[in-house]
């Protein structure tokens, strides 16, 4: 007899998902990738991408198999069928460090029965499911740009501000309200949310920024120039 759900992969996402389900009254086994995997109606693989194929091969046939990768297609789970994916569009630091708050979108894809199972699991976890089709690389690139590049830009902006005799950690805290407000405005207004010298066409200010950053670190100047080029395209 199979159990309703098993999570395979006790990493940050797997452990967080187990806590979320436990908080909603569901006791779900969390299995290590090298442990015996029991038969289940739904198996959700939350291991690193490079390990999905081998884990999938170790899962008993007959149930619905889902992976939690944003980058991998469903083919990595074959010959299992139904097969699909449930990828939360959110970073999970791990339940020992904290749980994400607010709306957590989750992309679902795959065979019809797998999509149904992924949507049900998403609801049980408190996620907001949406279906994604087309290029998996495009989907994941968008997630990486939103989820990682924002961190990169805030860290580098903090590094620049720290040259003004401000502690680097404090610099990030000081810049965060501006960054967060910009993101919130962009959700509603898109490129119209842009402000600053690029929108105003103040080339003298932009040149002074590039010269200053070149003296601090040429890599920072190159990053600034690349973002300036991208921002000009949005402005137009």
Domains 3-133 and 138-235 equal at CATH topology level: no
Q: Does residue 132 contact residue 50 with C-beta atoms inside 8 Å?
A: no
Identify the CATH assignment for 3-133 out of 3.40.50.720, 3.20.20.70, 3.40.50.2300, 2.170.130.10: 3.40.50.720
Taking the C-alpha atoms of residue 180 and residue 229, their distance in angstroms, rounded to an integer, is 22
Tell me the pairing of strands 128-131 and 105-110: parallel
pLDDT in tens, 85-104: 999 999 999 999 999 888 99
Percent of the residues in the chain that have a pLDDT greater than 90, as a whole number: 93
Q: Which residues does residue 109 pair with via DSSP β-bridges, in sequence order?
A: 85
Taking the C-alpha atoms of residue 62 and residue 65, their distance in angstroms, rounded to an integer, is 9
Taking the C-alpha atoms of residue 45 and residue 66, their distance in angstroms, rounded to an integer, is 6
What fold does the segment set 138-235 form as a domain?
1.10.1040
Note the pLDDT of residue 2: 65
The residue behind tokens 């339940």 is 95
Q: Does residue 9 contact residue 55 with C-beta atoms inside 8 Å?
A: yes
pLDDT in tens, 109-150: 999 999 999 999 999 999 999 999 888 999 999 999 999 999
Please state the pTM of the whole predicted model: 0.86
What are the angstrom distances between the C-alpha of 87 and each of 35, 38, 109?
23, 22, 9
The domain locations on the chain are 3-133, 138-235
């Amino acid at each position: 007899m199979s159990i309703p759900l098993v999570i395979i992969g006790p990493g940050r996402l797997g452990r967080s998902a187990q806590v979320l389900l436990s908080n909603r009254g569901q006791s779900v086994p969390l299995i290590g990738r090298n442990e015996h995997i029991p038969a289940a109606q739904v198996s959700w693989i939350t291991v690193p991408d490079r390990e999905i194929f081998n884990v999938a091969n170790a899962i008993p046939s007959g149930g619905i198999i889902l992976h939690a990768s944003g980058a991998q297609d469903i083919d990595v789970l074959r010959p299992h069928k139904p097969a699909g994916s449930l990828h939360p569009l959110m970073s999970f630091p791990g339940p020992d460090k904290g749980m994400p708050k607010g709306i957590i979108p989750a992309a679902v894809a795959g065979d019809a029965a797998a999509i149904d199972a992924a949507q049900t699991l998403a609801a049980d976890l408190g996620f907001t499911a949406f279906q994604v089709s087309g290029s998996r690389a495009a989907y994941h690139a968008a997630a990486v740009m939103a989820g990682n590049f924002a961190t990169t830009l805030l860290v580098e902006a903090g590094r620049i501000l720290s040259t003004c005799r401000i502690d680097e950690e404090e610099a990030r805290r000081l810049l965060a309200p501006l960054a967060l407000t910009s993101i919130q405005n962009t959700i509603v207004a898109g490129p119209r949310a842009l402000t600053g010298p690029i929108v105003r066409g103040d080339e003298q200010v932009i040149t002074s920024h590039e010269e200053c950053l070149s003296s601090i670190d040429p890599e920072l100047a190159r990053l600034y120039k690349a973002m300036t080029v991208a921002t000009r395209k949005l402005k137009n």
